[in-house]
Every structure is written in C-alpha cells, then in structure tokens.
Structure 1
Amino acid sequence: MFILYQRDDCQLCDEALALLAQARFPAFDPVFIDGHPTLEPRYGARVPVLRDAAADRELDWPFDVAALAAFGQGNR
C-alpha cells in the first residue's frame, strides 16, 4: 500500500501528483498532514513524501519518474 503525504495548497505536492500520473504509478492513498498531531511534526518539512507501508520505506521529494519507477518496483 502506497501513501502520499502532502499538504493543502502545496506546489511541490501538485508537482509530485503530476509525476505520479506521468509515471503511471500504482494506486496510492493521499493523506493530508495539515493539523494531524503526529503526521505534521514528522512530515511537515519533508512533504511530499511517498511511503510504501508494506515495505516500511519512504521516498522523499525531490523525485522524478525514474525514481518513482524504481520505488514502485521495490515491493514486487
């Protein structure tokens, strides 16, 4: 299961979403961290962050299509 941690009104998050679409990345759950008591302190300065919950690993911004492809292949 993939999760994209993001914020409202985040230009970098919008760029990450566009790259995910361009890379035809597998389905993911968007999670907005704004105001969340544990996620905002953990991810606030790092968003967008793509998390592979099954493999307990994360891909921090900046990433590109090649990095997304490699990250998506990592759990297969």
Structure 2
Amino acid sequence: MSDLILYQRDYCHLCDLALAVMAEARAPEFDSEWVDDSAELEQRYGTRVPVLRDTRDGRELDWPFDAAAVRRFLAK
C-alpha cells in the first residue's frame, strides 16, 4: 500500500489527464481509489476529482495540477 492515493472516477477525462501529469512528474507509486465505489468518498470528493492525497499527513492536491505542482507537493 502506498502513502499516496489518487481519487478519481471511471470515465473521467480529467482523471486521465491527472494520470498523465503524475507520469510526467515521475511520481512514486500511488494507489487509485474510485469515488464512485463509496458513498463516503462520493460525498467528500465527488465534485473535486481528481485529488492526490498524502496519507502520511493528510495533505491534498486538488485538480487542476501540473507536473511542477505534483513535484512541489511531493517535496514537502
């Protein structure tokens, strides 16, 4: 299990873009969670996805983000 989670939806073009940004940023391994699978996640992230969360400290990076923003987020 990774310390990073990317919250996303099925068939979400912004989520697809976020995956490309994560690759461009050379982000370490992360887990994907689909908010559609959970009422709790749907309530919390439904209109915000994609969202990158660091489970170690609870920080979140909301879309839109680019590779530089991801690298800054990971460096903190």
Question: Which whole-Å CA distance do the structure 2 matches of 1:29 and 1:37 have between them?
Answer: 19
Question: Which whole-Å CA distance do the structure 2 matches of 1:39 and 1:61 have between them?
Answer: 16
Deviation at 1:14, TM superposition (A): 0.1
Structure 1 runs of 4+ aligned residues shifted over 4 Å read none
Segments of 5+ residues of structure 2 without an aligned counterpart are none
> Secondary structure of 1:47's partner?
coil
Deviation at 1:35, TM superposition (A): 3.6
Could you tell me the percent identity over the aligned residues?
A: 58
What's the C-alpha RMSD, in Å, of the aligned pairs? 0.6
What is the TM-score with the length of structure 2 in the denominator? 0.94
| Structure with a larger share of its residues in helix | 2
What is the TM-score with the length of structure 1 in the denominator? 0.94
Count the aligned residue pairs.
74
Segments of 5+ residues of structure 1 without an aligned counterpart are none
Question: Which whole-Å CA distance do the structure 2 matches of 1:26 and 1:73 have between them?
Answer: 12
Question: Which whole-Å CA distance do the structure 2 matches of 1:19 and 1:35 have between them?
Answer: 24
